[in-house]
Chain A
Amino acid sequence: MLIRIDPASTAPLYEQVAAAIRRAIGDATVRRGEQLPVARELAASLEINVHTVLRAYAVLRDEGLIDLRRRRGAVVTSDAKPRARLNELLGELIAEARREAVSADELTHALRERYP
């Protein structure tokens, strides 16, 4: 699993980390039941704050992709795959919209037009 971040990007770091893991789950680089790296070690490797990694993990948990357990850390959950791809694309869509300075309302409007 490759996690790449760009501190110069406008996207928040936690969202970049979450997007990379989302992609890895989406293309089955990490599979159901596998553990994600310990947040502290991942933070050290990426030279970012551990809370940034924990925030990324929290985002993924809220999306239902991973489970955060006290002892075992972050574990990829079973029902992850079907939504992983969609979440990955949504993340990319939102990031692209931000780059183009398209507001959330405009984006929703554009979506409704294409998806009646």
Chain B
Amino acid sequence: MNKHARVPLATAGVPAVSIAAAVALASIWGPRLPGVVAVHWSNGTPDNSAALDSFVSISLLVSAALTMVASALTVTALRRGTGLARAAIGLLVGFATLPAGAAIGVLIANLDVRDWHEATGSALVAVVTLLIAVVSGALAVQLAGTTPATRPLSGPAGDAPAIGLEPGQRAVWVGGTTNDFLLFGVVVVPLVGLLIDQVGMIEVPPWIYATLFAAGLLVTLIGSRLSATVDATGVTIRIGLLGWPRRHLPLDRIDHAEGAELGLLEGGGFGYRVNPFTGTSLYKLRGGPALALTMRKGGLVYVTVGDPGPGAGLLNDLLRHQALTAPPSAV
């Protein structure tokens, strides 16, 4: 089956089956269900109810809306040709199926009870909901199959950044950036507690200070520094003051590199961000200059570093040398 039929079938068809199943069960079990059903439980005791018809309709409408969003996202990615992660399809479909699954679970829990107070089986609802979501997600993954990027790959273009690395020469480029504000996280975050205590006149217990201090320490150690190293093996991204965690992108997975300028809110903000549908991931500590890597499998990786030009140039030169010595097989 063609990709353009399989992906919509997975993202729209699979949730549609769950929604249809919920509609069918509600109508078949209609005579055996009370007019008002239990929809929320605390420690196994029902503590909230809703009219059967409106509960089922609203759950299924939410499911349908989520399904439409999931389908729109995946079809957009398919049209762009950036490739689709199977995990992303599975997660989206599972998420869109959750309300329909919950509706089925609630129907089962309320089956053959005279009054909603008698409906036990909150564990059953949770299990049924998750089971339906997981099975739907897995089914969608199987249906969709793998979707590699279709964008043609060229390697570094003639006018892409270069540093004029001669054959036989070796080079390494190290770039990085420090966010000075986040560097003081260990001091700033606990101050929030002090502010609430002093200005808000709400007593803050010591364990909250300890938690704030730990969070601040984490911000300082992990969130304040980012560095990238370009050498003959590829690009190594080191996160945090201790250089850990780190990620290595091998040279043969990179198509070409360039310097880019990131907006302050571009990509959704700061931190490590992934968009599975555009295939873009960002390592971002600030707006401004960033090293932009176009990957062979599609997608872009941005790393905010100061003066990324020479790094991109070195990477392109290394890729050009690699292409000369060993032409990459068809991707």
A interface, CB within 8 angstroms of B? 1-8, 29, 37, 41-42, 45-48
Report which of A1, A6, A7, A46 forms a contact with B231, defined as CB distance below 8 A: A46
Q: Is the pair A4, B165 in contact by a Cβ cutoff of 8 Å? A: yes
- Answer yes or no: B232 CB below 8 A from chain A CBs: yes
A7-B173 contact in complex given A29-B307, A37-B229, A46-B231, C-beta closer than 8 Å: no
Q: Which residue of A lies closest to B310 (CB)?
A: A2
Chain B residues with Cβ below 8 Å from A42 are: 172, 174
Chain B residues with Cβ below 8 Å from A8 are: 168
Complex Cα gap A29–B173 (Å): 11
Q: Is the pair A6, B166 in contact by a Cβ cutoff of 8 Å? A: yes
Report which of A1, A5, A41, A48 forms a contact with B175, defined as CB distance below 8 A: A1
Chain B residues with Cβ below 8 Å from A41 are: 229
A1-B173 contact in complex given A37-B229, A45-B229, C-beta closer than 8 Å: yes
Q: Chain A's nearest CB lies how many Å from the CB of B89?
A: 38
Q: Chain A's nearest CB lies how many Å from the CB of B168?
A: 6
Chain B residues with Cβ below 8 Å from A45 are: 172, 229, 231-233
Query: Can you offer 13 A-B residue contacts whose CB atoms are under 8 A?
Result: A2-B163, A2-B172, A2-B173, A3-B172, A3-B173, A3-B174, A4-B163, A4-B169, A4-B170, A7-B169, A46-B171, A46-B172, A47-B170
Complex Cα gap A37–B173 (Å): 10
A5-B173 contact in complex given A29-B307, A41-B229, A45-B229, C-beta closer than 8 Å: no
Q: Which residue of B lies closest to A43 (CB)?
A: B172
Q: Is the pair A2, B314 in contact by a Cβ cutoff of 8 Å? A: yes
B interface, CB within 8 angstroms of A? 163, 165-166, 168-175, 229, 231-233, 307, 310-311, 314
Complex Cα gap A4–B314 (Å): 10
A5-B229 contact in complex given A29-B307, A37-B174, C-beta closer than 8 Å: no
Chain B residues with Cβ below 8 Å from A4 are: 163, 165, 169-171
Q: Chain A's nearest CB lies how many Å from the CB of B184?
A: 15
Complex Cα gap A48–B169 (Å): 12
Chain A residues with Cβ below 8 Å from B175 are: 1
Q: Is the pair A46, B170 in contact by a Cβ cutoff of 8 Å? A: yes
Chain B residues with Cβ below 8 Å from A46 are: 170-172, 231
Q: Chain B's nearest CB lies how many Å from the CB of A3?
A: 5
Q: Which residue of B lies closest to A3 (CB)?
A: B172
Chain B residues with Cβ below 8 Å from A47 are: 170, 232
Q: Chain B's nearest CB lies how many Å from the CB of A57?
A: 14
Q: Which residue of B lies closest to A6 (CB)?
A: B169
Chain B residues with Cβ below 8 Å from A6 are: 166, 168-170
Complex Cα gap A46–B169 (Å): 10
Q: Is the pair A5, B163 in contact by a Cβ cutoff of 8 Å? A: no
Chain A residues with Cβ below 8 Å from B166 are: 6
Complex Cα gap A114–B300 (Å): 55
Q: Is the pair B171, A3 in contact by a Cβ cutoff of 8 Å? A: yes
Complex Cα gap A3–B232 (Å): 13
Output the residue of B168, B171, B307 with the most chain A CB within 10 A. Answer: B171
